[in-house]
Structure 1
């Protein structure tokens, strides 16, 4: 291969890699923040260390190999560093190709005079397959039936072009209402119809979490179906009167059951899908409030980005009242958490872990559990983003660890990690072949994957569930309540427990707890301060105790 045919599109202007294989590997190491391919000899080891004792302490695996072989190779493979004898190592060209393939969104090959496609234009093309599916999910039934060309089979996201998605956008949403801003100077979204404006809203506000995306699609689909039934629309044409009528319909739905669904002609319903908010089943007030909150968020986003010239959904949602009435209930009791901590700490009986579990996999599982347990982060906040370089760990001069994440609304926050969380992270980094503490400008996934660069949301979730499953073997026979809790718990239960520990157990000021949890409203954080009657009685008794 010719390294100079590969361009780094993350810099401006894009620049080619050095001509030689060795120089290209050094460039990749600098760009990715971790070693890529190093050939160790005794001479090189002595140059980097003051003495052989220091070399043995800082590079124990390399030192041991050099006692038996002339050279050793340290190379990057599937999210971890591997060190083998030079005779057993793959060729540097192979490692270079693997790393370039892993980072193919950043490094692109240009040969035979073909034009370079910058990374900024690759992302929209790669997203068109997903956005086509989103648009199809939002279309009213009659619009889907009337389309000549439905969403077709997509083999690879990168193969999808704007032309192939045009039939999808030629539907109910592909219109503009009276409130759309026609000036592209102040319309920062740069689109002129609701279809593309909805897609940008979903990508900015809901694409990082499949659960959030599913909920947003369902709530927007309910509004669109209601508009189709009432012969209103597009969304950017709705007045405040229209949206208030939609809110009243939701309120009737919550109070009286399937009112809207009964008014809906059968021909306009999706088979096996709710045609209108609530469908044939009664919805609670909380569900209706969430639906209004999503609609309000959509119009607020459109106004903020300049797509609309007015916001007809202002104060439509009683979000503050809903947050004030919300009480977190999915919290693991202390005794259940103690069982899981015992599993991670190795206090469980020998043989509890699945047979044949690799040390690296077990170290990764313990690190994942510790981050969710003591960081209070959302599930998606531990998913690696190559664009932002988050999540990221750093350690200050005093040895304090901090987890940097990107939360809802693309808001970044720093979460201080307690000392009890650090040992599993250190052990996991050593198992990956990394340094015990992160380098100052380290840029690599906090949690690696054996098949790709980083573990996704489903993989992270499965690792936490594996700890919960292992804890079942420590439950006292006959303790059904604990078993039910372990089987129902998830990563968000750990987040609720983290918040409850801060707010209730240690009386952390609400603004501080809000910052640590990344809540948009302090009312959400305050909900964790609600206690049961027994705790309330103890607080009152302690406040008025007899001297």
Structure 2
């Protein structure tokens, strides 16, 4: 078995990474290995720093996006860190290599009125109770799509208004439930008569699929008169932005979202600044900018 296959097996078994994440690591490391073979550099495990810099430069010349180059170098850093830990190499050749900076794209968010219009779907429609509970939970607790799909009733404490999920890296976190989400979940459970081990949102073969939720959220947004691109992660972005805008507590938002690195959460400070800048431009008599 090659070093790359050993590493992927480690990620699958010991780190318990998702198939999607494993596929991404495999694609990126395979691309580097193919480049090394094409250049006559031998096995990916024996590359040194200057060769990896050459790889990044070649990717840039091929007009690969900075984000793609960053991702591939990140996969290399993790791979070589694992090799170093197991005594297969003497130093991490990717440790000091930096990819071109990618322009930071700010996520779109719903404003509070749009979020309210979306989650307040009619409960008298077929599956209306389920849709209301699903949307309220997304917006109330900022869950990832995968976390919501995997949720079972024993993960919810409706009495103390908490939901406990297993996030990225198998890290557990508990997030508060808003009163509207708790009430919607109470009604949905009473309707289904589900047991503690049942999935909160069941599908045909166990849990509801991410694709089914994506399609349903898009459909419900159109029904509620929101004609922008609405998807489950937009509700997570909106949750984070609205909490930060009201509280100013970046660390708290980091904990609620389950981000390992606060730099990931800091993007929402830019969103908050954009909002303040718009308010300033609209309100201050000497803030009007010439177009």
In the superposition, the TM-score normalised over structure 1's length comes to 0.46
Cα drift, residue 518 of structure 1: 1.2
Taking the aligned partners of 1:302 and 1:372, their CA distance within structure 2 comes to 39
1:489-526 CA distances to partner (integer Å, 9 max, x unpaired)? Answer: 211111111111122x2134111111111112111111
Taking the aligned partners of 1:213 and 1:333, their CA distance within structure 2 comes to 35
Distance 1:327 1:338, change over 3 A: same
Higher helix share: 2
Cα drift, residue 236 of structure 1: 2.2
1:104-144 CA distances to partner (integer Å, 9 max, x unpaired)? Answer: xxxxxxxxxxxxxxxxxxxxxxxxxxxxxxxxxxxxxxxxx
Taking the aligned partners of 1:300 and 1:514, their CA distance within structure 2 comes to 26
Correspondence 1:46-195 to 2 at 5 A: 174-175=1-2, 193-195=3-5
Q: Which runs of 5+ in 2 are unaligned?
A: 285-291
Taking the aligned partners of 1:307 and 1:542, their CA distance within structure 2 comes to 62
Partner residue of 1:522 out of 250, 253, 262: 262
Distance 1:366 1:541, change over 3 A: closer
Q: Is residue 167–residue 173 contact of structure 2 (8 Å, CA) maintained in 1? A: yes
Distance 1:496 1:294, change over 3 A: farther
Moved more, 328-337 or 284-293: 328-337
Partner residue of 1:243 out of 31, 52, 62: 52
Cα drift, residue 305 of structure 1: 6.6
The higher radius of gyration belongs to 1
Does residue 1:491 correspond to 2:251, yes or no?
Answer: no
Give 1:411's aligned residue: 171
Does residue 1:447 correspond to 2:204, yes or no?
Answer: no
1:292-334 CA distances to partner (integer Å, 9 max, x unpaired)? Answer: 2232233334545777664222243469x76xx6342232344
| SS of 2:109 mapped into structure 1 | coil
Taking the aligned partners of 2:208 and 2:157, their CA distance within structure 1 comes to 20
Q: Is residue 384–residue 390 contact of structure 1 (8 Å, CA) maintained in 2? A: no
Q: Is residue 370–residue 424 contact of structure 1 (8 Å, CA) maintained in 2? A: yes
Give 1:427's aligned residue: 187
Give 2:288's aligned residue: none
Does residue 1:294 correspond to 2:55, yes or no?
Answer: no
1:314-373 CA distances to partner (integer Å, 9 max, x unpaired)? Answer: 243469x76xx6342232344432332232x54xxx8xx4xxx3xxx4433322222222
Give 2:18's aligned residue: 208
Give 1:342's aligned residue: 120
Cα drift, residue 242 of structure 1: 2.4
Q: Is residue 393–residue 446 contact of structure 1 (8 Å, CA) maintained in 2? A: no
1:426-475 CA distances to partner (integer Å, 9 max, x unpaired)? Answer: 1121122147xxxxxx54433323x33322333xxx23532431332443
Q: Is residue 289–residue 318 contact of structure 1 (8 Å, CA) maintained in 2? A: yes
Give 2:140's aligned residue: 374
Does residue 1:198 correspond to 2:15, yes or no?
Answer: no
Distance 1:222 1:310, change over 3 A: same
Q: Is residue 217–residue 232 contact of structure 2 (8 Å, CA) maintained in 1? A: no
| SS of 2:241 mapped into structure 1 | helix
Taking the aligned partners of 1:403 and 1:305, their CA distance within structure 2 comes to 38
Distance 1:306 1:409, change over 3 A: farther
Taking the aligned partners of 2:179 and 2:88, their CA distance within structure 1 comes to 47
Give 2:215's aligned residue: 465
Taking the aligned partners of 1:331 and 1:391, their CA distance within structure 2 comes to 31
| SS of 1:530 mapped into structure 2 | helix
Distance 1:420 1:317, change over 3 A: farther
Partner residue of 1:332 out of 101, 110, 134: 110
Distance 1:534 1:314, change over 3 A: closer
Q: Which runs of 5+ in 1 are unaligned?
A: 1-173, 176-192, 259-281, 436-441, 476-481
Question: Aligned residues, how many?
Answer: 283
Moved more, 406-415 or 329-338: 329-338
Q: Is residue 66–residue 99 contact of structure 2 (8 Å, CA) maintained in 1? A: no
Taking the aligned partners of 2:237 and 2:153, their CA distance within structure 1 comes to 22
